[in-house]
Amino acid sequence: MAYTESREKSAECLRTALGFMREHDAAFNPITYTVWYEYSAGVNARLNEALDLLKESDPRLGDASIQKLYREHIATVDEATMERISQDFARVMSGVAQTASATGERAGALGSRLDELSLALRESDVDELQSQLQEALRHTRTMRASTAELQAQVTQSQSEIERLKEDLDRAREAAFVDSLTLVLNRNGMDHHLAELVKTPPELGHAHCLILLDVDHFKVINEQHGHLMGDRVLATVGKVLRASVDAPEQKAARSGGEEFAILLPHSSLQEALELAERVRTRTKSMKLRNRHTNEVILTVTVSAGVTALQRGESPEDWLMRTTWALHRAKEAGRDRVEVDSGKAAA
């Protein structure tokens, strides 16, 4: 795995990884750190899925579990993933092309044999006719075998292409995932936002956007430290992942303590209800001291909700939603404000 995180982001991953390591029983060694670093960075979706599943049955992972995760999900990952995918795809397509070419040549040979057979029939040369029939039968059998070979090659190639697609999706997902909160990062958000603006909403629906901001986050960092600040952000990410359950909806960390939810083909009412649900769920979660179980703090968020207007650019849409968020902040925080501008039909 080639790590491309910036110094700031890798420091964030370091703090998060060390926090996870303290919660589990595995030794503090490079393998353990690598597992938790990739988990924290969100660059290895299969590792995250396997680790989350394992934690359900084993809340304090030991050396054996960590080493198994490392062997199965890290040690086998090729550092040049994209190059390998490209080469594998070219190999698959080359194999199909070669088999198809051979099949085409045999089909051409069969066509020539049939032309000769047709000529022999017209000339009524019995000996020549029998010879041509035998030759045509031979080419027919060859053609049948070539067709079967091509079909098998195509079937095998389809399976390989599906595997390559999964690898590509994994690579793209890693590039778009925020390391701390495990929702989309800003690049991922901008990508989906631009695509959404270009896609007309379904009749009777609108594209909606929610921006959320953690209230008094600077104070949290100052009074409780950056590790607690990271826990707060990770908690909000967890709330967002639990609240956004429709595949087309996307949750993102747009920067710092600010988050976003994109709701295609929705309505202002649905977006408002989702924003309220996230606000309520966040407020109900208590951050506790891991040793004493004492409640350290509760977290609230403010939110702004808008629907995309006809002809609006991603930048203008974001700005309008930001103003709705600012109104929620100015009105006392821990609330949702809606910009009810008419959505594009």
Could you list the active site residues? 257
Q: Name the token pair of 14.
A: 């370091």
Q: Tell me how far apart the alpha carbons of residues 284 and 276 are, in angstroms, rounded to a whole number.
A: 12
Do residues 262 and 189 touch, judged by C-beta distance below 8 A? yes
Q: Tell me how far apart the alpha carbons of residues 255 and 253 are, in angstroms, rounded to a whole number.
A: 6
Query: Residues 191, 268, 239, 252: what is their CA dihedral angle, to the nearest 10 degrees?
Result: 10
Around 61, how many Cα atoms within 13 Å sit in the side-chain half-sphere? 22
Length of the chain (residues): 345
DSSP 28: S
Handedness of CA 27, 30, 32, 37 (dihedral sign): positive
The set of residues, in sequence order, having a beta carbon less than 8 Å from that of 38 and lying 6+ positions away, is 1, 44, 47, 74
DSSP 210: E
Do residues 17 and 33 touch, judged by C-beta distance below 8 A? yes
Ranges of H-type helices in the chain: 7-23, 30-41, 45-57, 63-73, 81-123, 126-176, 186-198, 217-224, 226-243, 268-284, 314-330
Question: Backbone phi, then psi, for 48, in 5-degree steps?
Answer: -60, -45
The set of residues, in sequence order, having a beta carbon less than 8 Å from that of 277 and lying 6+ positions away, is 243
